[in-house]
Amino acid sequence: MSDNKFQLPRGTQDIYGEDISYWQKMEEIIRKQCNLYGYKEIRTPIFEHTEVFLGENDSSDMVNKEMYNFKDGGNRDLTLRPEGTKGVIRAFVEHKMYGYPDMPVKLFYMGPMFRYDRPQKGRYRQFNQLGIEAIGAKSPLLDVETIALGYAIVKEMGINNLVILINSLGDNESRRNYREALKQHFKPHLNDLCADCKRRYQQNPLRILDCKVDKNHPSLAQAPKCRDYLNKESQQYFDTVIKGLDDLNIPYEIDDRLVRGLDYYTNTVYEAVPKDEKGQQATVFGGGQYDGLVESFGGGMLAGVGFGLGMERLLDLAKEQNKITVEEEKIDVYVISLGEVDTYSSKITELLRNNGIRTEMDYQKRSLKAQFKSADRYKAKVIVIVGENEYSNNIVQIKDTTSKTQENVKYEKLVEKIKSII
């Protein structure tokens, strides 16, 4: 038997113990902020038909290298979701949400995503992502709102050193003109580029700007800027987005090489990174607008905008900066059993729990000393002691661990007494 048979697969993690408390606090913050901004939760399957994630001429590494694909018992091609947007768009169209009277439809989701990526600190093959999607309306103010929501979540986690890197890819006309300019620019340098960039040159030359292998190649630094190819409408749109960020005092920098890693973006694209980690793989959240995605799923010409936030990345950042704390797990009552009173102890434990009192008990008939040690480790506010004498007289002993006082209490008065202490 292999030594690794019963160990975690590479690029995954178990979340347990104190870490669960941190995750629950982060999820609570996310839900609170999403609710304030009017975003409703949606839950989609963790696997979809493979074609959901495939796009015409899609040059992204996610599609070409990183997807977990498999066939089910019916020989259908399925894929573990590598990102959340396309599954949500599929659901939006399938359930005819485009018929809702009020647009946009504003949705959020949290859950695991899967990419066959090189594991490293903060990056996993199964990772958790918050996604925000506002579908069915096109407005620079909506682009700003999604950035503001992501920024609010990160600030609520105690992180204040974030900057938004932002760019505009323009509308379809602007993007088409820019693609041609990039092809002309990179054509003399093709032999110097990596194999992936040679493929991107044919499919989507914008993705060459996002290359991690050739990022220091002179041809990238000298590449034309997308903003120089924006038509009047696209430039005005981007100017309004920038003014919106200024009005909200959200720090940003225009990054002419920012294109994002997925091919469906148009107009606004952005990434949020810590100010001291720019240029590294340090994105906390990132996204942008997508004009043609809903139509590609059969839902008509509807725009959308959204972002994905790496939950592991956000939590790691908050911990590194000592910006997040959780309350120590405590219980209200620990029930100690002495003698053959197991069923009475169990009855008391259930009575207290049914009245909203967090209660633990001993299950192993251990010594009195061992049970008191457990009560101390649990940091119980009250200890209930049940022996055969207490059972016979329908009473219990209770000890207030703060005042160190101890008294007998009748069974029917137990809940009232304990609530007066805790």
pLDDT per residue as tens digits for the range 359-407: 999 999 999 999 999 999 999 999 999 999 999 999 999 999 999 999 9
Per-residue pLDDT at 1 exceeds 50: no
pTM (global) more than 0.85: yes
Task: List the one residue out of 94, 93, 67 whose CA is nearest residue 81.
Answer: 67
User: What is the SS3 assignment for 176-227?
Assistant: HHHHHHHHHHHHHHHHHCCHHHHHHHHHCHHHHHHCCCCCCCHHHHCCCCHH
Strand stretches in 81-190, DSSP E: 105-114, 126-135, 162-168
Give the end of a domain, one of 320, 354, 381.
320
Determine the pLDDT at residue 262.
67
d(CA 254, CA 165): 6
- Residue 197 inside a domain? The answer is no
| Whether 143 and 286 share a structural domain | yes
- Residue 179 inside a domain? The answer is no
Least confident of 169-178, 203-212, 344-353, 388-397: 203-212
Residue 76 sits in a domain whose CATH number is 3.30.930.10
- Residue 222 inside a domain? The answer is no
| Whether 45 and 155 share a structural domain | yes
Give the end of a domain, one of 297, 320, 343.
320
The per-residue b/e assignment along 121-157, b for 16 or more CB within 10 angstroms, e otherwise, is ebebbbbbbbbbbbbbbbbbebbbbbbbbbbbbbebb
| Whether 39 and 105 share a structural domain | yes
| Whether 373 and 404 share a structural domain | yes
Determine the pLDDT at residue 200.
82
d(CA 247, CA 270): 17
Omega into 101 within 30° of 0, i.e. cis?
Answer: no
What is the pLDDT confidence band of residue 197, given thresholds at 50, 70 and 90? confident
List of residues 6+ apart from 143 with CB closer than 8 A:
241, 244, 267, 268, 288, 289, 305
Give the end of a domain, one of 287, 320, 353.
320
Label the pairing between strands 105-114 and 285-290.
Answer: unpaired
Residue 360 sits in a domain whose CATH number is 3.40.50.800
- Residue 184 inside a domain? The answer is no
What is the pLDDT confidence band of residue 257, given thresholds at 50, 70 and 90? confident
- Residue 108 inside a domain? The answer is yes
| Whether 303 and 343 share a structural domain | no
| Whether 111 and 248 share a structural domain | yes
Task: Give the number of domains in the chain.
Answer: 2
More confident residue, 107 or 276: 107
Max mean pLDDT among 32-41, 249-258, 284-293 falls in: 32-41
| Whether 245 and 98 share a structural domain | yes
Task: List the one residue out of 65, 69, 63 whose CA is nearest residue 47.
Answer: 69
What is the pLDDT confidence band of residue 265, given thresholds at 50, 70 and 90? confident
- Mean pLDDT, rounded, for 330-341: 94
| Whether 282 and 394 share a structural domain | no
Per-residue pLDDT at 54 exceeds 80: yes
Task: Please report, rounded to a whole number, the percentage of residues in the chain having pLDDT higher than 70.
Answer: 94
Please give the residue range of the domain that contains residue 108.
Answer: 18-171+231-320
Chain-wide mean pLDDT for the chain?
Answer: 91
Least confident of 17-21, 110-114, 234-238, 382-386: 17-21
- Residue 84 inside a domain? The answer is yes
- Residue 189 inside a domain? The answer is no
| Whether 25 and 67 share a structural domain | yes
- Residue 114 inside a domain? The answer is yes
More confident residue, 244 or 120: 244
| Whether 309 and 344 share a structural domain | no
Task: List the one residue out of 48, 44, 123 whose CA is nearest residue 80.
Answer: 48
Quick one: residue 395, left, alpha or beta (phi over 0 = left, psi -120 to 50 = alpha)? beta
| Whether 338 and 298 share a structural domain | no
- Mean pLDDT, rounded, for 145-156: 98
Label the pairing between strands 40-41 and 105-114.
Answer: parallel
| Whether 36 and 133 share a structural domain | yes
